[in-house]
């Protein structure tokens, strides 16, 4: 026997693959029926609707259906009210002509075809019921305050049971608390009754969920009375009133109203919920707590309801059995109750229900029906709905308790087996077929399916297949070089290939191959790995003021091949349908924010594969609302207490309150700040002044700003009193040399403390034996004392006085009578010269009595007489240096070197300067000279340059010589070696020979005195290359335009000579009345030999210049200037450079008269002069 059992165990191990994978047989293949949909076991129907009992099944061929009712065959054709839906086993009962309760019972459906029969659960059909409450007259309940009370509900029994709740006549739920609560059976419990519990509308309602109807009990009236009230009303209500607790009620320790006794028991089914309650009475109200005696409460499945009176455990398991203890406690003691919980269990599957078997001929297989329950359930097998004991014999089948073993099955072995597991608390019924087929593999996953997955996420590629025998699945990638197995690949039993952490390189083409003994099937799928969607910039917490705009940014990175969709949520719901909410591709903008916009905003970026989200909170703030209900309390002569109620702070905590007041007696319409208190306080103790008519208001302040002021408080008037203080800022000084002005800062109306404010002004000289002088001043803040000696110290006092008395003894101030100009002069003036521009002057201070006022300081007046170089008097303004305070010396900066200066010193006070001291003269030594005034190049030759300069404007001493430095400069502005040349003091020009051809030089020239060298002046100039000059002359002379120009000039001159000759023959003279503006070459003009002027031509009619001649630049025409030098026309002047760089002076003819040479220049005429001559004649 043991050997046979070991063989059976081995056989079970061989067929575990059939159990592990529940195969779905394609509907085009023969197969027994399978129930796909059925009604619940306990089916409660609505009597107002047709009864529908579901039964759907699949199979090949399609199954037929039959029903049993209460264990016997239900002939549908015989009942006109029942039909069966086409191609279905679902029954529809028409209750329009019959009552639904006639069809209550136990129904079971059978689906069968040629391969077997499947049966449904037993469906218990019951009609829902919602009976009416029985009519009853409920007497009013009179109860003494402090006792306990239970108001019964006792609803009618319904199917399913109703939901109970208590409400008043206005359909408002009655408030519940630790003292008042509803029990699980619906009664209302009062741990102790109070006067406020008196009411006439305690109404219990029962809602029947299936029919959605509500039944109402008659209202209950409760009157809570104390003992005296009970005695007064006992006679009137004795006959028809229940009276409780006739004796006075004292505080007491708790006792349980439910459950009763020290212990109780409760049974609960596994998987259901466990509810246990303990309701106690006592005064004061007891507190309830729960513990498990034999262990800990299951924290994740436990909750406490009804103010800890109910212990609720969900999804009960066997471990929840045991003893539970509830304890009620108040200050007078405690009471305990133990509840013993027993857990029973209807049958439940240990792993799973039996699964269908698809076997090929000759294969082995196992059906297992393994379940548990409390108590242990019994197991029975049926085949095609018939107990297996009386089913046809099958040699390949063997039944052993909860297992059926199939060995060497044949095609005729196909059938449907039912496993029924039951105990006292329920049953399980499961269908599982055995289908014997020979079928080559087929892959059911769609061909060329594309799987898309996010990088670093698992990738699952399906290879659902069917075949008999069961195919073996293998996977290949791309080139099929090797089977995919081992890391990173995981092959599941159902053929699915998993890559637990997909990477970009895992993308590509995958092939799954299904193989059995009959054939091979394969399928290609594709995997694409995408970049994850990530929010790069998350929205941030925002605090915004109401009425402004706010922007939440949400910048996202995603795979470019995926289409993203941005969604914004507010508080996990949709955004409000408001045009103020503007959603862009990466942001959410809310304009004109209101307080209702506050909340949590979430941006969600969705793609077809993944999503990412981020949230941020928006707080909408604004100025707080103004405080309300200002109240004045604790009123005293000099203080009052102000209280108020803060307004809404609008999400920004109030930081402080500002209290202001208005004095309607002295300053009506103006509010003044009085004090501030922290934002956590709503009371302020205010110190007040006498004789003020106060009105207060309060402003709240938060981060946004101040609120509007509150409404003013009522007026509070303080009584007048003598002043508490005297004027401040008492000061004495004179405006004239013989007076004293006493001034002070007057008291304000708030400081006056009463009517009739005036001031008592007192003064006396600061010397022994002086008496106080007193005067009363009103409506003024100063008093002038006349006839005082000059600048004498005084003691001063000013006291405030009103109609109710004088202020405190005033403090003594000090002042002086008026000042006069000083009469003393500084003496012993001395000057120490430090260098050519700095000296220091010394003096002896003036005695104090000669200053006749407050010493302000000394002023030094100094001026330059002349320079020792020019020996001419300068007309310079005096320099003034002021030295504040009691100084006896001071520096004189910025002096001119080599000069004669004068200096005097004066003392000054608040009135002005005193007389000057004796004038002292001093000399400054020589200093370094200034730069030469000019430096020019007067003659530039091939290898030499001539420099001319002017002496410095500021010699600052005797010039002892000059220093000339120069160095060549190349085309890149780099400087060459420096040459230095010392020059005598009387030189103003120098010629530098032996310079390089066509080279630019930079020159530096400075002057010297005995004090040293002064700053330099610089200049640049260049020498010329001889070949360049010659080539330019040849080039110009051989140009065609130049030859043509010369011919034109010669022709014009010939015409001019002819005209002049004609005019001379007429006997008139034509004087040249204007010098020509253009320069002309002398060889083209007739000139007198004696005075080098133009010849005079006779012209008695016209004295105008020749037509086309240029007017001088000053716009005037000179007459009779025949003795002008040719220098005025550009001859004989300094040489200038032409446009091409040639030196014009080298090519211009020299004036014969000026040089007394009597011959013309042998050099070629300048083209510039030729053009000028042409312009003169055109």
Cis peptide before 1152 (omega within 30 of 0): no
Of 188, 182, 189, nearest to 254 by C-alpha is 189
966 strand-pairing partners: 979, 1003
Please count the residues of the chain: 1178
What is the distance between the alpha carbons of residues 297 and 288, in angstroms, rounded to a whole number?
16
State the pLDDT at residue 1017.
Answer: 93
State the pLDDT at residue 311.
Answer: 95
Residue partners of 733: CB distance under 8 A and separation at least 6: 740, 741, 815, 816, 818
- Cα angle vertex 164, ends 195, 219, to 5°? 45
Neighbours of 1026 (CB within 10 A): 12
b/e map of 1117-1137 (b: 16 or more CB within 10 Å)? beeeebeeebeebbbbeeeee
pTM of the model: 0.52
State the pLDDT at residue 872.
Answer: 59
Tokens of 1020: 């640049």
305 strand-pairing partners: 310
What is the distance between the alpha carbons of residues 1162 and 604, in angstroms, rounded to a whole number?
101
Neighbours of 501 (CB within 10 A): 12
What is the distance between the alpha carbons of residues 756 and 723, in angstroms, rounded to a whole number?
11
The edge-to-edge listing of strands for the beta sheet with 415-423 is 357-359, 426-436, 415-423, 378-383, 386-387
Of 545, 593, 539, nearest to 569 by C-alpha is 539
What is the distance between the alpha carbons of residues 701 and 677, in angstroms, rounded to a whole number?
11
State the pLDDT at residue 717.
Answer: 92
Q: What are phi and psi of 817, to 5 degrees?
A: -75, 180
State the pLDDT at residue 1166.
Answer: 39
Q: Which helix (H) or strand (E) holds 1007?
A: strand 1000-1009
What is the distance between the alpha carbons of residues 367 and 351, in angstroms, rounded to a whole number?
13
Contact 985, 978 (CB under 8 A): no
What DSSP designation does 767 have? S
Q: What are phi and psi of 1031, to 5 degrees?
A: -65, -30
What is the distance between the alpha carbons of residues 791 and 853, in angstroms, rounded to a whole number?
6
Q: What are phi and psi of 39, to 5 degrees?
A: -70, 160
What DSSP designation does 706 have? B
Contact 250, 325 (CB under 8 A): no
Radius of gyration of the chain measured on its C-alpha atoms: 63
Tokens of 658: 């500002």
Contact 276, 298 (CB under 8 A): no
Look up tokens 């200034």; give the residue: 930
Within 142-287, where are the H helices?
227-237
Give the residues of the chain that fall short of pLDDT 50: 1-21, 235-247, 1027-1035, 1068-1178
SS3 for 147?
A: coil
The three state secondary structure string of 910-934 is CCCECCCCCCEEEECCCCCCCCEEE
Tokens of 15: 């067929």
What is the distance between the alpha carbons of residues 475 and 491, in angstroms, rounded to a whole number?
9
What is the sign of the dihedral through the CA atoms of 43, 49, 53 and 59? negative
State the pLDDT at residue 1168.
Answer: 36
Tokens of 800: 């405030």
Checking 387-394 for CB contacts under 8 A at 24+ apart, the result is 388/417
From the centroid of its chain, how far is CA 315?
47
Contact 540, 616 (CB under 8 A): yes
What tens digit of pLDDT does each residue of 71-84 get?
A: 999 999 999 999 99
Contact 845, 826 (CB under 8 A): yes
């Amino acid at each position: 026997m043991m050997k046979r059992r070991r063989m059976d165990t081995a056989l079970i191990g061989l067929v575990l693959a059939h159990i592990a994978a529940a195969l779905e047989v394609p509907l085009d293949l023969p197969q027994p029926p399978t129930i796909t949909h059925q009604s619940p076991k306990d089916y409660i129907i609505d009597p107002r609707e047709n009864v529908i009992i579901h039964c759907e099944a699949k199979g090949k061929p399609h199954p037929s259906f039959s029903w049993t009712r209460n264990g016997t065959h239900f002939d549908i054709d015989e009942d006109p009210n029942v039909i069966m839906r086409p191609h279905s086993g679902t029954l529809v009962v028409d209750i329009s002509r019959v009552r639904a309760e006639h069809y209550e019972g136990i129904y079971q459906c059978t689906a069968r075809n040629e391969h077997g029969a499947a049966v449904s659960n037993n469906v218990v059909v019951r009609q829902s019921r919602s009976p009416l409450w029985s009519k009853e007259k409920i007497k009013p309940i009179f109860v003494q305050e402090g006792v306990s009370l239970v108001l019964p509900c006792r609803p009618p029994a319904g199917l399913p049971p109703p939901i109970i709740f208590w409400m008043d006549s206005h359909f408002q739920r009655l408030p519940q608390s630790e003292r008042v609560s509803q029990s699980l059976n619906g009664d209302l419990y009062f741990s102790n009754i109070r006067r406020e519990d008196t009411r006439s509308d305690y109404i219990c309602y029962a809602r029947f969920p299936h029919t959605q109807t509500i039944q109402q009990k008659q209202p209950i009236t409760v009157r809570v009375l104390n003992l005296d009230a009970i005695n007064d009303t006992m006679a009137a209500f004795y006959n028809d009133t229940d009276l409780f607790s006739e004796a006075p009620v004292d505080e007491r320790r708790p006792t349980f109203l439910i459950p009763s006794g020290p212990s109780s028991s409760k049974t609960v089914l596994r998987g259901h919920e466990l509810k246990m309650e303990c309701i106690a009475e006592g005064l004061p109200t007891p507190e309830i707590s729960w513990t498990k005696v034999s262990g800990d409460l299951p924290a994740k499945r436990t909750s406490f309801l009804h103010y800890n009176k109910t212990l609720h455990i969900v999804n009960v398991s066997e471990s929840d059995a045991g003893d539970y203890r509830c304890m009620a406690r108040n200050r007078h003691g405690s009471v305990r109750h133990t509840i013993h919980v027993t857990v029973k269990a209807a049958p439940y599957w240990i792993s799973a229900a039996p699964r269908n078997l698809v076997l090929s001929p000759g294969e082995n297989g196992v059906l297992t029906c393994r379940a548990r329950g409390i108590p242990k359930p019994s197991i029975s097998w049926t085949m095609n709905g018939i107990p297996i004991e009386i089913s046809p014999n099958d040699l390949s089948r063997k039944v052993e308790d909860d297992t059926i073993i199939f060995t060497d099955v044949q095609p005729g072995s196909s059938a449907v087996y039912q496993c029924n597991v039951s105990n006292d608390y329920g049953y399980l019924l499961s269908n599982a077929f055995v289908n014997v087929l020979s079928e080559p593999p087929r892959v059911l996953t769609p061909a060329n399916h594309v799987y898309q997955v996010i990088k670093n996420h698992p990738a699952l590629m399906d290879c659902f297949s069917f075949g008999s025998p069961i195919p073996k699945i293998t996977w290949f990638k791309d080139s099929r070089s090797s089977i995919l197995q081992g890391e990173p690949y995981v092959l599941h039993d159902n053929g699915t290939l998993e890559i637990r952490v997909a990477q970009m390189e895992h993308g590509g083409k995958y092939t799954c191959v299904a193989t059995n003994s009959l054939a091979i099937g394969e399928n290609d799928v594709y995997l694409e790995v995408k970049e994850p969607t990530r929010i790069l910039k998350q929205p941030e917490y925002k605090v915004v003021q109401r009425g402004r705009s706010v922007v939440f940014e949400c910048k996202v990175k995603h795979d470019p091949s995926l289409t993203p969709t941005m969604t914004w949520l507010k508080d996990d719901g949709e955004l409000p349908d408001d045009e103020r909410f503007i959603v862009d591709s990466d942001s959410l903008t809310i304009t004109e924010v209101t307080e209702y916009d506050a909340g949590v905003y979430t941006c969600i970026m969705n793609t077809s594969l993944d999503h990412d989200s981020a949230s941020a909170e928006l707080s909408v703030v604004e100025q707080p609302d103004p405080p309300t209900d200002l109240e004045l309390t604790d009123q005293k002569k000099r203080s009052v207490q102000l209280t108020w109620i803060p307004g809404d702070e609008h999400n920004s905590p109030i930081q402080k309150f500002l209290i202001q007041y208005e004095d309607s007696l002295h300053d009506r319409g103006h509010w003044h700040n009085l004090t501030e208190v922290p934002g956590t306080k709503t009371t302020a103790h205010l110190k007040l002044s006498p004789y003020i008519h106060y009105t207060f208001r309060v402003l709240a302040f938060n981060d946004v700003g101040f609120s509007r002021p509150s409404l003013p408080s009522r007026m509070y008037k303080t009584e007048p009193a003598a002043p508490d203080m005297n004027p401040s800022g008492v000061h004495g000084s004179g405006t004239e040399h013989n007076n004293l002005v006493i001034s002070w800062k007057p008291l304000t109306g708030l400081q006056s403390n009463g009517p009739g404010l005036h001031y008592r002004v007192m003064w006396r000289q600061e010397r022994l034996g002086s008496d106080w002088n007193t005067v009363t001043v009103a409506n003024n803040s100063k008093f002038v004392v006349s006839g005082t000696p000059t600048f004498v110290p005084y003691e001063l006092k000013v006291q405030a006085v009103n109609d109710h008395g004088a202020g405190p003894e005033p403090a003594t101030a000090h002042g002086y009578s008026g000042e006069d100009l000083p009469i003393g002069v500084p003496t012993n003036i001395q000057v120490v010269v430090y260098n050519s521009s700095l000296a220091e002057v010394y003096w002896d201070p003036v005695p104090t009595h000669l200053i006749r006022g407050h010493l302000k300081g000394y002023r030094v007046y100094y001026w330059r007489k002349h320079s020792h170089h020019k020996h001419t008097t300068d007309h310079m303004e005096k320099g003034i240096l002021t030295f504040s305070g009691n100084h006896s010396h001071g520096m004189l900066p910025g002096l001119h070197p080599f000069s004669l200066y004068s200096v005097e010193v004066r003392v000054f006070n608040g009135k002005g300067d005193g007389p000057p001291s004796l004038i002292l003269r001093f000399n400054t030594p020589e200093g370094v000279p200034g730069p030469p005034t000019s430096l020019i190049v007067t003659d530039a030759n091939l290898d030499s340059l001539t420099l001319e300069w002017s002496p410095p404007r500021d010699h600052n001493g005797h010039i002892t010589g000059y220093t000339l430095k120069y160095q060549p400069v190349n085309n890149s502005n780099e400087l060459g070696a420096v040459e230095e040349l010392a020059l005598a003091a009387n030189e103003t020009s120098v010629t530098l020979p032996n310079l390089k051809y066509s080279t630019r030089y930079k020159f530096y020239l400075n002057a010297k005195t005995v004090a040293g060298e002064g700053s330099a002046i610089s200049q640049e100039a260049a020498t010329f290359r001889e070949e360049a000059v010659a080539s330019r002359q040849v080039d110009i002379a051989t140009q065609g335009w130049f030859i043509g120009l010369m011919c034109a000039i010669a022709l014009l001159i010939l015409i001019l000579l002819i005209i002049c000759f004609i005019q001379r023959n007429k006997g008139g003279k034509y004087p040249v009345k204007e010098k020509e503006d253009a320069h002309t070459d002398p060889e083209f003009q007739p000139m007198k030999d004696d005075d080098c002027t133009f010849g005079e031509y006779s012209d008695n009619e016209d004295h105008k210049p020749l037509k086309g001649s240029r007017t001088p630049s000053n716009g005037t025409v000179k007459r009779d200037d025949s003795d002008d030098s040719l220098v005025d026309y550009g001859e004989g002047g300094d040489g200038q450079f032409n446009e091409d760089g040639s030196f014009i002076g080298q090519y211009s003819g020299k004036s014969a008269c000026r040089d007394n040479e009597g011959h013309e220049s042998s050099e070629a005429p300048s083209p510039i002069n030729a053009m000028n001559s042409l312009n003169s004649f055109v």
